[in-house]
Amino acid sequence: MAAMLQQGMRSHREQTMASDDYPDWLTAEHRTGTTIMAVEFNGGVVIGADSRTTTGAYIANRVTDKLTPVTDKVFCCRSGSAAATQAIADIAKYHLNFISIEMGEQPLVKTVANVFREVCYGNRDSLTAGIICAGWDKREGGQVFSIPLGGMCVRQPFAIGAVALAMSRDGSSGGIIRLAAIDESGIERRVILGNELPTFYEG
């Protein structure tokens, strides 16, 4: 009887997984990490992040703000060790204050990204941090730079996927979504609460 039940369950599972109505990503294993994203548009950038901070399997904070202002019109999206990424952001702000005083104006987005790159690369052996640097400047408009583990700096028109779908598939992402749109006129921030998030079929 038990053998027949197991065989029936296996057969049902195989049929379900083979079905065109059952997407492949539903059978993929859950992954851990932070969900951050940034996208350039004509005139600015939009950035977003989830809000969950974990300590091992324990959810330490459900409403963390992972979008950190660095200058008036440049933000960084932080992923990795919370302590390391916050320290990197503070060090970058410290250096950028000197640069803005020296130049008499706000630094370019590329300059901000390169400061992050130097800090991440110089401490690559002791840091666990992935940063997206995004913002607007009067020379090149909206820009997105990705600074992954190791300290490489690459400009990309977009970085990472859509936040809500990524959160639904990622065991360490969750909570609320924080968004910010940055353009010439300034910064507009928005929070999407958990009950307002779009839902995806998960079987």
DSSP 8-state symbol, 170: B
Cβ neighbourhood burial of 6 (10 Å; 0-12, 13-18, 19+) = exposed
Are 100 and 137 in contact, with CB atoms under 8 Å apart?
no
Are 53 and 59 in contact, with CB atoms under 8 Å apart?
yes
CA neighbor of 106 nearest in space, from 72, 67, 141, 132: 72
To the query of whether residue 34 is one of the catalytic residues in this protein, the response is: yes
Helix residue ranges per DSSP H, the chain: 2-18, 82-103, 109-122, 163-169
Catalytic residue among 16, 27, 32, 34: 34
Are 41 and 29 in contact, with CB atoms under 8 Å apart?
no
Could you list the active site residues? 34
